[in-house]
Structure 1
């Protein structure tokens, strides 16, 4: 296991940005050693940006697969992000999307992100690659917000599919995954981790999935409340 498995390009960009962006301190409770699946709040890109910038150890982020390839990244920015979402003129959007797609695809590939294939059987590749990383002792961070463009501090509805990682990991190792809520606070300039959450032995998976989801969701909002970000 490597403490820093990021590629050279990502590490260089991370170093430069750290020189100019405010420092965020990381507060972690004690939990068992080994791989962790951190579940965090997207907050319209703020969560992934701050976490990948300041978390002290390397993390494999789950990333929508289109952003890991230059061609599909360009299409995403030109035909959706800049135009439909931000209302930009489509010709200007294409001009901006072209260089940005090269930068983003190279940066996220260098970060060793794990591609996520929504609504496709290729999602099995996401789980397979994730379990392989976890078995090497490397940790993962997932931002499962359904409304990822919501910049508020309160975590609302989340996709539940990430919880099936438990099934694949348990089948491969005979051990339960350690899920830890992770919250980035703008007001406190801090990244805070909640308490570890596990599936329990001998329990129905669907029932446990609901319980683990509720605990993660509740802890994320409690962390935001503790920081004064949510009343």
Structure 2
């Protein structure tokens, strides 16, 4: 297993940011093999903290537009800065030019895996993921249907990510170890406890729903355990 696969740019930037950003402690179960961590996005908070403070190197699933300079620029100009932030197009274009010159390089250095949502190219995402896992490396996925939601409660998730089970099993004949991972603002902690697997000999469609429900329930439990939401799921 390759312990550290991050690039120099990412490592330098992470070291600089760690000087100024409060430290988050990490509490996760020990694993001898690769893991797929499932985490709440929370409008970028989840990926940001995980890549900043997680003690294990991980390949984060990243929307493919942020890994390509032109696509990244278009996304910031036509969506993020104009539609989400309400900026005028000139200001959006200026900021997008500088940001899109840096962000793709940083994310490539972090060894992120491009995600092609709503495209047949999603197959490449699954194949790439299965390959890095077969090398003993772990993955982090942020499957929120509403990435802009800043609340501590994980609501609906896309369930397509669970298809990674089929690709990994075809290569290794082993089931994926899914671990729900919660990033707590209140406790300044990255916490996980439960390992979730598909069961042997069960139809994929049937198991898919069961695993989905278990992951979502565990993320709610961890959020409540940290005091970020109430036990009934209301934050």
Give yes or no for the alignment of 1:101 onto 2:100.
Answer: yes
User: What is aligned with 2:28?
Assistant: 28
Gap regions ≥5 residues in structure 1: none
State whether structure 2 residue 154 is matched by structure 1 residue 146.
no
1:43 counterpart residue number: 42
1:179 is matched with: 178
Secondary structure in 2 matching 1:121: coil
The corresponding residue for 2:87 is 88
CA distances 1:161-219 after superposition (whole Å, capped 9, x unpaired): 10000011111111000000001000100000130000000011111000000000000
Give the superposed CA RMSD.
Answer: 0.7
**Shift of residue 28 of structure 1?**
1.0
User: What is the CA-CA distance between 1:29 and the residue it aligns to?
Assistant: 2.4
- Give the equivalent residue in structure 2 for 1:3: 3
Q: How do residues 105-116 of structure 1 correspond to structure 2 at under 5 angstroms?
A: 105-116=104-115
Supply the distance in 2 between the matched residues of 1:220 and 1:205 (Cα, whole angstroms).
22
The answer for the alignment partner of 1:195 in structure 2 is 194
Aligned mates of 1:29, 1:117 — CA distance in 2: 30
Deviation at 1:9, TM superposition (A): 0.2
* Alpha-carbon shift at residue 67 of structure 1 (Å): 0.1
Whether 1:162 and 2:161 are equivalent positions in the alignment is yes
Contact 1:197 1:215 in 2 (8 A): yes
Counterpart position of 2:15: 15
CA distance in 2, matches of 1:109, 1:88: 28
Task: Determine the C-alpha separation between the residues in 1 that align with 2:81 and 2:2.
Answer: 37
Kindly indicate whether the alpha-carbon contact (under 8 Å) linking 1:194 and 1:220 is maintained by their aligned counterparts in 2.
no
Question: Per-residue displacement from partner, 1:5-40 (whole Å, max 9, x unpaired)?
Answer: 00000000000001110000001124x410000000
> Deviation at 1:119?
1.1
Tell me, in whole angstroms, the C-alpha distance in 1 between the residues paired with 2:91 and 2:217.
42
Q: Distance in 2 between matches of 1:215 and 1:103?
A: 38
TM-score (norm: length of structure 2): 0.97
- Secondary structure class of the residue paired with 2:150: coil
CA distance in 1, matches of 2:167, 2:29: 26
Inter-partner Cα distance in structure 2 for 1:56 and 1:230: 25
